[in-house]
Amino acid sequence: MTDFSSALSVAASGMRSQAERITHVSENIANADTPGYRRKVVSFEPMRGFDQAQGMVQTGEVRLDRRELPRIYDPGHPMADETGHYPGSNVDMVVELSDAREAQRSYEANLRVFDQIRQMSSSLNDLLRR
C-alpha cells in the first residue's frame, strides 16, 4: 500500500503546483493594465526533503519577467513623462491564456492519475475480497 499512497502524494503535489501556477496566471491577467507591472513567472522543481516521497514537485521562487515594458503614448496620463509616454505592463494576454490552459490540462492529468491510483487500489482490494 505504500506504493499507492506515495503515488497519491506525488499526484497531489502536481495538482498543488498547477494550482499555484494558475494563481500567478490570474494575477498577471488581473494586472494586465497596471502601469509598470512585470508578469510573474513560476518555475517547477523537484521537492527535496527527508520525509517527502520521491519524485514530488513543487513550485520554485517566483520571478519577474525581464522583458522590456512597452511604452504607451498617452500625454494625459498622470505617469506620462515629457515625451507623453508611460510604461505599461509586459503581460501578453495570449501567453497568459495559453499558460492557463496548459495549467488546466496538467491539473486534469494529475487528477486522472489520482483517480487511476484509487481505482487500482480498490481493484486490488476486490481481488483480496473474493
Partner 1 sequence: MDIRNSLAIAAYGQTGLRPQGQMLADPSSGQMQAGQIFANAVERFGATLAEGEAQSIAAMTTGADPHALVTALAQTELAVETAVTVRDRVVEAYQEILRMPV
Nearer to partner 1, 80 or 113 (CB): 113
Instruction: Look up residue 94 and give its amino acid.
Output: V
Q: Check binding of 23 to partner 1 (CB under 8 A).
A: no
Nearer to partner 1, 3 or 33 (CB): 3
**What DSSP assignment string belongs to the chain?**
-HHHHHHHHHHHHHHHHHHHHHHHHHHHHHTTTSTT---EE--EEE---SSSPTT-EEE---EE--SPPPEEE-TTSTT--TTSEEE-----HHHHHHHHHHHHHHHHHHHHHHHHHHHHHHHHHHHHH-
Only one of the segments 14-22, 34-42, 43-51, 71-79 lies at the binding site for partner 1 (rule: CB under 8 A); that segment is 14-22
Only one of the segments 5-13, 33-41, 42-50, 76-84 lies at the binding site for partner 1 (rule: CB under 8 A); that segment is 5-13
Only one of the segments 36-44, 64-72, 82-90, 119-127 lies at the binding site for partner 1 (rule: CB under 8 A); that segment is 119-127
Out of 32, 95, 104, 118, name the contact with partner 1 by CB under 8 A. Answer: 118
* Positions in the binding site for partner 1 (CB under 8 A): 1, 4-5, 8-9, 12-13, 15-16, 19, 114, 118, 121-122, 125, 128-129
